[in-house]
Amino acid sequence: MEKKRLPPGLLWPLLICLLATVFLLIGSSVAIALNPEDLLVVTNRAVAEGAQLARYYMSARHVPSANLIELDTSKGEDVSREDYDKEIASPVRRFLSENDPQGKRFRCILLMYGVPLRVGPPAMTGEEKRLLLELQERKAELESEIEAAEKQDQKAIKTLRDEQGEIGKKIEKVAKYSYVASVDSEIALVMERHYPLEGWVLNRYFAGFRGRDMGNLPQRVLLVSRLDGPTEAVVRRIVDDSIWAEERGLSGKAYFDARWTDKENQDPSAYHAYDREIHNAAALVAKSKKLPVVLDERARLFQPGEAPDAALYCGWYSLAKYVDAFTWVRGAVGFHVASSECVSLRGNRTQLWCRAMLERGVAATLGPVGEPYLQAFPSPEIFFASLIEGRLTLAECYAISVPFWSWRMVLIGDPLYRPFKARFGGTDGTGEKTR
């Protein structure tokens, strides 16, 4: 199927329902337009460039100088759970307890270049280490047994592979792989003293949970974004481009890369459901008439040269292999749905989508620091509908579209960025009229 421009007028019921949900959230869980005074900016003393970038950003966005906290932590992208608790969470919690005990001053944490990206699992006990070694030895034995059984009947091989699968699950459990999270997603719950570290925690802001009984959700939750990238120059460019595009209004084209047509997409699986969300997001942007929309419904991705003047993007699935199809306009926002596309922003992993998109010019993107599972990605419908509507900031659009905290997603960009602020006919959150 060739890529096509979407006519306005699709999905009226979805548009009305979704924007009604967004407006409800604007009036309750997430306030209108995050302000500079709402930010707590976090730097790492071990990375001098991060402090310089913090001053640059705070001056450009008029963030009060008192809204800065400097940490002493690892300069690497990974931090142990113990060091996270001692060097990151504890000082941030102490600062908030002393300066905002009622939770009315700070609404968003901004992590700067140099703050670690990923927090590891809790340390294993001696007994857990012993069990892990036994499981790993048994897994190695099974590899040999499967190799030796290749000439035997398939039933024997299946039995061995079933055991291998069970051993793999036990290894993941003992090694506490499900405790690994992004620093960003974990720090959102820094004022929640008691929540499970294993797996994810439901996000009370998520629009998809609206009107549903989700049990006892964490109450004091901070929005989180980070200004980060492969180099200091990239971060400065993100700041400059966000302000530039916000003042003028983001222009260009919106590209959505689905894998199936709507007619083909009858499968009830999570993959097809997410593909429908990409279709719906494209239709919502088209309905807004703020940008021309190009939707590709083929299994292949946009190819080199096929996506000029890209302002918005959402697509999938090319694992750790960026496709250089785009020329990004200043202020572009987009994300690619694939596992582990934000496992590193530095080093030699140059084809990871988050890093590559930042290097080539996007102002905001997001991705996971490890296998997140598809349901952990933000909803394209909610994210892009709230973004183009114009009254919520980038951090707020992300907060109402991502379903989980204490998990593996990362938002990279200026949390105050409103790319369609100039086209929104309301106020900017300070009471001043926008154009």
Q: For a pLDDT cut of 70, what percent of the chain falls above it?
A: 88
Q: What local confidence, expressed as pLDDT, does residue 157 receive? A: 80
Question: Across-strand partners of 255?
Answer: 294, 313
| Mean pLDDT to the nearest integer, 332-345 | 96
Q: What local confidence, expressed as pLDDT, does residue 101 receive? A: 94
Mind listing the pLDDT tens digit for each residue in 54-71?
999 999 999 999 999 999
Question: Tokens 């900031």, residue?
Answer: 393
Give the confidence band of 434 by pLDDT, cuts at 50, 70, 90.
very low
Residues 6+ apart with CB under 8 A from 3: 294, 295, 296, 297, 298, 302, 306
- How far is the C-alpha of 323 from the C-alpha of 355, rounded, in Å? 12
Contact (CB, 8 A) for 388 and 284: yes
Residues 6+ apart with CB under 8 A from 328: 310, 311, 357, 360, 361, 362
Residues 6+ apart with CB under 8 A from 203: 209, 217, 221, 399, 402, 403, 404, 405
Q: What local confidence, expressed as pLDDT, does residue 347 receive? A: 87
Q: What local confidence, expressed as pLDDT, does residue 143 receive? A: 82
Q: What local confidence, expressed as pLDDT, does residue 152 receive? A: 66
Please report, for residues 12, 148, 293, 412, the alpha-carbon distance to residue 189 in angstroms, rounded to integers and kept in the order given.
Answer: 36, 50, 37, 18
Mind listing the pLDDT tens digit for each residue in 359-373?
999 999 999 999 999
Q: What local confidence, expressed as pLDDT, does residue 155 receive? A: 74
Q: What is the strand order of the sheet 223-227 is part of?
A: 68-71, 39-44, 108-112, 223-227, 409-412, 365-368
Give the confidence band of 147 by pLDDT, cuts at 50, 70, 90.
confident
Mind listing the pLDDT tens digit for each residue in 218-270?
889 999 999 999 999 999 999 999 999 999 999 999 999 999 887 666 677 88
pLDDT over 50 at 31, yes or no: no
Question: Among 17-31, 70-84, 106-120, which stretch is predicted with the lowest mean pLDDT?
Answer: 17-31
pLDDT winner (highest mean) among 23-32, 59-68, 125-134, 270-279:
59-68
pTM over the 0.85 mark: yes
Give the confidence band of 3 by pLDDT, cuts at 50, 70, 90.
very low
Residues 6+ apart with CB under 8 A from 278: 256, 257, 258, 314, 315, 316, 380
Q: What local confidence, expressed as pLDDT, does residue 27 receive? A: 43
Residues 6+ apart with CB under 8 A from 356: 322, 324, 350
Q: Where are the domains of the chain?
A: 4-29+231-403, 126-175
Element (DSSP H or E) covering residue 61: helix 48-61
Give the confidence band of 156 by pLDDT, cuts at 50, 70, 90.
confident
Q: What local confidence, expressed as pLDDT, does residue 368 receive? A: 98
The sign one gets for the Cα dihedral 92, 98, 400, 414 is negative
The residue type of 240 is: D
pLDDT over 60 at 30, yes or no: no
Q: What local confidence, expressed as pLDDT, does residue 264 receive? A: 65
pLDDT over 50 at 29, yes or no: no
| Mean pLDDT to the nearest integer, 336-346 | 95
